[in-house]
Amino acid sequence: LGVTLLLFIIATFGPSSALRMAFSPVLVDKPTGKEANVKWRAVPMGHLRKHPHFISLPHPNDVTIGGSFLNLGLYRQDSWQWDALHSGRLTTSRLSGSLGFYEGNAALLIGVPRSLQSHSKALSSWQEMKSKAPTDWTFLSESKVTQSALDASENPWISLYEDSSVTTSFNCAYQPAAAELTVGMRRFTNPSSARLAWGHVQEATAILVAVNYFTKYSPGSVVSESGMFAWEALQETIEHRQYLDQQAVLREILGSLPAPPTTAPSKAKKSNAIANSTAASGQAKLGNQNIYEVLNQWIKSRKLPVLGASPDGIIRHADGTVEVLEV
């Protein structure tokens, strides 16, 4: 979060702003006023999905679960399916409220601003998690006419250059059609509601800062859209990782075998060598696997709700490193 904030400050106030986009529309008549203009220079998520350097998730109607929980993560965060995935699930957004961090004494101890202190957040988390999470997710494949997770009808991005060595911090100008601009003011009753609205409306704009930064300063890095990382998919991930580890061990063993001798070694010795190396690899992963098994037992016994997380984005670097993006 600290790195992301630093990037935002650099991009916003630096000499070549990553947010300073050519042809940027003015969304209000007056530059100043008494009302919070949370839509100022906001880029809608549907427009960001058209950006050539941003990898978006498919339209929800095009997602097929197909018996794999991993596909639950393909639903966009502005789709009704993503909302449905929160049923009975403990997510990072509910964790602080569930742990009582916003309660009076705890909030004072850890320095939570008074405007954020509230017992209602614990009640809200309890209310949302007391329902049982579904085990059959086939209903998510239903097509609904009212779908908020829509893309822009036309590409609002104009490529300015291909060379990332030039001085500007972005290589695509933002020029949406006038009919697709989100305009209008909304009156907020308190600063907290304005803050929440700002964070929601400006989220795609903040992700754009990361897209511009990594495109210019980290060639080969890609920012992609993120859905829900569901606990149910973790077992598939562990099994897939174990399979890859076993394959890597086998490749290492077979690649390091000496040239075949005149008398071939017995099959038993070779099989034992492979089995022992595979077991050693599995032992290295046993700690993490045990943690998963313990948590899974708690979830199955309803001592713990199913878990999930929805970061703002995923950063995949050229060297294979994967990082979570939070803005």
The DSSP code sequence of 65-109 is -TT-GGGGGGS-TTSHHHHHTTTTEEEHHHHHHHTTTTSHHHHHH
Greatest CA separation for the chain: 89
Banded pLDDT at 318 (limits 50, 70, 90):
very high
Mean pLDDT of the region 272-282: 43
Give CA–CA dist 77/57, Å, rounded: 10
Residue 65 CB contacts under 8 Å (≥ 6 apart), including other chains: 71, 72, 137, 138, 140, 141
What pLDDT is attached to residue 191? 78
pLDDT at 151 over 70: no
pLDDT at 295 over 60: yes
pLDDT at 199 over 60: yes
Give CA–CA dist 85/42, Å, rounded: 27
What pLDDT is attached to residue 315? 96
Amino acid of residue 21:
M
Residue boundaries of the structural domains of the chain: 2-136+148-230+310-325, 232-307
What pLDDT is attached to residue 301? 83
For the chain, how big is the Rg over CA atoms in Å?
A: 25
Proportion of the chain above pLDDT 90, given as a percent: 29
Q: Which of 16-25, 51-60, 261-270 has the highest mean pLDDT?
A: 51-60
What pLDDT is attached to residue 138? 85
Mean pLDDT of the region 161-182: 63
Residue 64 CB contacts under 8 Å (≥ 6 apart), including other chains: 71, 141
What pLDDT is attached to residue 287? 47
pLDDT at 279 over 60: no
pLDDT at 47 over 60: yes
Give CA–CA dist 260/106, Å, rounded: 68
Q: What pTM was estimated for this model as a whole? A: 0.70
Banded pLDDT at 174 (limits 50, 70, 90):
confident
Mean pLDDT of the region 229-253: 76
Give CA–CA dist 124/83, Å, rounded: 15
Give the residue, 314 or 272, on which the prediction is more confident. Answer: 314
Mean pLDDT over each residue of the chain, to the nearest integer: 75
Q: Beta 172-174 vs 313-316: how paired, if at all?
A: unpaired
- Provide the token pair at 25: 């529309």
pLDDT at 203 over 90: yes
Residue 39 CB contacts under 8 Å (≥ 6 apart), including other chains: 27, 182, 183, 184, 185, 201
3-class state of residue 295 by DSSP: helix
Give the residue, 282 or 226, on which the prediction is more confident. Answer: 226
